[in-house]
Amino acid sequence: MSRPNGKPFLWGTATSSFQIEGGIHNDMSVWEETGRFRNNGLDPRIGNAVDHWNRWQEDFDRLTELGVNSYRFSIEWARLEPEPGKFSDEAFDQYSRMIDRLLELGITPMLTILHFSHPAWFHDLSPWHTSSAIDAWLRLVEQVSRRLLDRVPYVVTINEPMVWLLAAYGDAKFPPGRRDLHELMDGLRHMLIAHRRAYDLIKAHHPDTQIGIAHNMIAFRRARKGNILDDDMKRRLHLFYNLLIPKAFVTNRLKFRFPLLVKIDEPIQLDNRIDFWGVNYYYRMHVRFRLRPFRPFDMLFVPRSKHGLSDMGWEIYPRGLYKCCRWLRFTKRPIVITENGIAADDDTVRIRFLERHLEFLHRLRAEGMDIRGYYYWSLFDNYEWLVGKSVRFGLFHVDYDNNLSRSIKPSGQYFARRITSSV
């Protein structure tokens, strides 16, 4: 298989700090303590997550058991800057040791700077819908760049800006819990500008570091065949959710129109400053037009592909991985599949999921698409946003009743075999 950049294909697993580390006090933990997450009826509990903060060394041995040559993880802002402007040497030291250990093990680190969670103080002082967020975040990026990034070849600045913004400013599921489309669009603008400034800042010190955004993409389909209104809604959602951000990088314009809801058309100086697009792909959704003012559509999971639904209720649609990557060809940037995975108690479902998605990965590469890596979400079962520990995404099983002990699943062994046979 061709290696467009002359480097080995990155095979990895992905995690995020809040979902695995435990012992974190941040905006999310405050929401849990004050009962805000209970609103959706699921009452997720983070507890000590899977105690990775204390068990990271043994967990890294599990990476070697899988045979991955890369690992995507995130750093927890709330640990690094517990009070505004006051950075924790202790937390930086631990992340630094983690990076050194990965390198010792021959595992290339991919570090995500912002993966959904913020310090508890953040939204009161400098929320993303105000431009003060940019400077607040850049203060962190500057420290991270100086103290950690000299040894990190791949950096994701922000994980899934669209998903986070929709949850935080669209339907109030994440802190700061707002429902305001204008604030959402302001937040988007600020995040993109923050990315560009982070890009320049990091490149100034580490010109070889490859910097991207992990962009969540959905394969949309119209719910009713021959229904032009469903078709039109589908097209608009695709333009908004999948393409608005990458297009802004290529065109230096933030442009989107959704009748009665959003109209935005403004310059944004991004100059395509991104080295790769991370694609986080999970599912397909069916779009149905609804005659109502504020949300003129429904988005549904329907098991139409015959692969069924995951334990999250998400439609398994392997071809979507292929489509999403191809939709990004116009960006003229390499792609890394920074997340792809499934919640399944029945591990045979995960093996089938991997088989089918890896088939499409193979096809993309065989067709000459510049895909640089694939990261399965996730290394082990962990806390899932809004749902808690009731769903299992891991290649390693975590026994929540038995001291959080980890054991490899058959899907983990399957992934390990696939990696070995592809090298």
Q: Which residues bind ligand FCB (CB under 6 A)?
A: 16, 19, 159-160, 163, 216, 280, 339, 377, 384-385, 393
Query: Closer to ligand FCB at the Cβ: 160 or 315?
Result: 160
Question: 98 or 167, CB closer to ligand FCB?
Answer: 167
The beta strand positions in 182-222, using DSSP E, are 210-222
When the beta carbons of 186 and 384 are compared against ligand FCB, the nearer one is: 384
Min dist. Cβ of residue 255 to ligand FCB (A) = 25
| Tokens matching residue 68 | 């991955």
CB of 87 to ligand FCB, least distance (A): 24
CB-CB contact of 52 with 69 (8 Å): no
CA distance 207 to 221: 41
Q: Which of 152, 17, 133, 15 is nearest to 75 (CA)?
A: 17
In the complex, minimum distance from the CB of residue 91 to ligand FCB, in angstroms, rounded to a whole number:
20
Pairing type for strands 297-300 and 262-267 reads: unpaired
State whether the Cα torsion 379-385-388-392 is positive or negative.
negative
Task: Say which amino acid occupies 167.
Answer: A
Q: How far is the CB of 384 from ligand FCB (least distance, A)?
A: 5
296 or 341: CB nearest ligand FCB: 341
Exposed e or buried b per residue across 154-190, where buried means at least 16 C-beta atoms within 10 angstroms of its C-beta: bbbbbbbbbbbbbbbbbeebbbbbbeeeebbbbbbbb
Shortest Å distance, C-beta 265 to ligand FCB: 28
Q: Which is nearer to ligand FCB, 44 or 187 (CB)?
A: 44
Q: In the bound complex, what is the minimum distance in angstroms from residue 83's beta carbon to ligand FCB?
A: 26
- Residue whose CB is less far from ligand FCB, 19 or 242: 19
Q: How far is the CB of 320 from ligand FCB (least distance, A)?
A: 14
Closer by beta carbon to ligand FCB, 80 or else 218: 218
CB of 414 to ligand FCB, least distance (A): 19
Q: How far is the CB of 150 from ligand FCB (least distance, A)?
A: 26
Looking at residue 346, its amino acid is D
Token digits of residue 311:
């334990």
Q: At what angle do helices 181-205 and 132-147 cross, to 10 degrees?
A: 30
> C-alpha angle with apex 264: 263 to 269, nearest 5 degrees?
175
Choice between 163 and 254, CB closer to ligand FCB: 163
| Whether the Cβ atoms of residue 179 and residue 173 lie closer than 8 Å to each other | no
Shortest approach of ligand FCB to residue 386 CB, angstroms?
9
Q: Are 221 and 285 in contact (CB under 8 A)?
A: yes
In whole angstroms, what is the distance from residue 251 CA to residue 249 CA? 6
Nearest to 144 by CA among 158, 127, 160: 158
How far apart CA 156 and CA 137 sit, in angstroms, is 14
Cβ at position 29, least distance to ligand FCB in Å: 16
Residue nearest to ligand FCB (CB): 16
Q: Which CB sits closer to ligand FCB, 60 or 375?
A: 375
Q: Quick one: 339 or 370, whose CB is closer to ligand FCB?
A: 339
**Is 374 exposed, middle or buried (CB count within 10 Å of its CB: 0-12, 13-18, 19+)?**
buried
Written as one letter, the residue type at 18 is F
Cβ proximity to ligand FCB, 209 vs 340, nearer residue: 340
According to DSSP, the β-strands at 262-267 and 253-258 are: antiparallel
Q: 124: buried, middle or exposed (CB in 10 Å: 19+, 13-18, 0-12)?
A: exposed
Residue that has been written with the tokens 């991004």 in this structure:
270
